């Protein structure tokens, strides 16, 4: 997720078209991440350089495993429609999706969660959204694997087996560990926790 999210709750206001508002904000602020989770409109400015570097580092093991081609694709910034609210959607930093995902468009450039095999977030200053609200949202959507590169606490989270609004398995990994993701995503993918967190760290000039 991008940096410094600002949330705007609308619970006490008359019904508004959140999707139209989200679209307007996206057009007014190119590069910003606009999402609706639990009926709350969340706006996050463009990610920092280290965030992008971590994503680039992450692409390699997925590509090497052969997940970008054949039955699956590896893609950044594609929106998933969420069952947590009538207008809810999120935009994971990285996802592994079925190869025919573009045929499962729902609306507003959002896609059916059933085609997502894995979603991944690299945290920024709004890390609480990735560690809390998105855990519930992605679990309710039935997305099998959720990975969080937690730059704030220097940990890698792997959540699997969604049930209701949570995941039944949540493993937390520290630098020095090498993590093998579930083969249910389509192939064996190994992540070097220390290398990913190092790539996501801001470098001092």
Which letter does DSSP use for residue 116 in this model? E
How many structural domains are present in the chain? 1
Neighbours of 66 (CB within 10 A): 15
Q: 16 lies in a domain?
A: no
Is the sign of the CA dihedral 158, 180, 82, 77 positive or negative? Answer: positive
Q: 8 lies in a domain?
A: no
Full domain range(s) for residue 125: 48-199
For the chain, the straight-line distance linking the first and the last C-alpha, in angstroms and rounded, comes to 25
pTM of the model: 0.89
Q: 37 lies in a domain?
A: no
E-strand ranges in 151-189 read 155-163, 166-173, 178-180
Phi, psi angles (nearest 5°) of residue 115: -90, 0
List the chain pLDDT tens, one digit each, 205 residues: 443 344 445 455 556 788 888 888 888 878 788 999 999 898 888 889 999 999 999 999 999 999 999 999 999 999 999 999 889 999 999 999 999 999 999 988 999 999 999 999 999 878 889 999 999 999 999 999 999 999 999 999 999 999 999 999 999 999 999 999 999 999 999 999 999 999 999 887 6
Q: 68 lies in a domain?
A: yes
Q: 25 lies in a domain?
A: no
Name residue 178's beta-bridge partners. Answer: 192
In angstroms, what is the C-alpha Rg of the chain? Answer: 16
Q: 181 lies in a domain?
A: yes
Q: State the CATH number of the domain containing residue 155.
A: 3.90.1570.10
Q: 2 lies in a domain?
A: no
How far apart are the C-alpha atoms of 147 and 145, rounded to whole Å?
7
Q: Which two tokens stand for residue 19?
A: 């999707």
* Nearest Cα to Cα of residue 198 among 49, 54, 96: 54
Q: 20 lies in a domain?
A: no
């Amino acid at each position: 997720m991008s940096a410094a999210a600002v949330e705007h709750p609308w619970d006490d206001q008359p019904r508004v078209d959140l999707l139209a508002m989200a679209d307007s904000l996206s057009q007014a602020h190119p590069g910003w991440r606009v999402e609706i989770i639990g009926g709350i409109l969340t706006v996050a400015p463009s990610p920092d350089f280290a965030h992008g570097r971590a994503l680039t580092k992450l692409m390699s093991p997925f590509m090497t495993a052969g997940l970008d081609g054949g039955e699956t694709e590896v893609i950044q910034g594609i929106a998933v429609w969420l069952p947590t609210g009538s207008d809810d959607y999120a935009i994971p930093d990285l996802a592994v999706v079925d190869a025919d995902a573009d045929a499962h468009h729902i609306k507003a450039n959002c896609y059916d969660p059933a085609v997502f095999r894995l979603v991944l977030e690299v945290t920024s200053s709004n890390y609480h959204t990735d560690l809390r609200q998105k855990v519930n949202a992605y679990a309710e959507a039935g997305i099998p694997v959720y990975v969080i590169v937690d730059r704030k606490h220097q940990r890698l989270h792997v959540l699997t087996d969604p049930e209701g609004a949570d995941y039944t398995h949540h493993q937390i990994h520290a630098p020095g560990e090498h993590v093998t993701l579930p083969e249910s995503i389509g192939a064996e993918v190994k992540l070097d926790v220390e290398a990913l967190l190092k790539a996501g760290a801001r470098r001092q000039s």
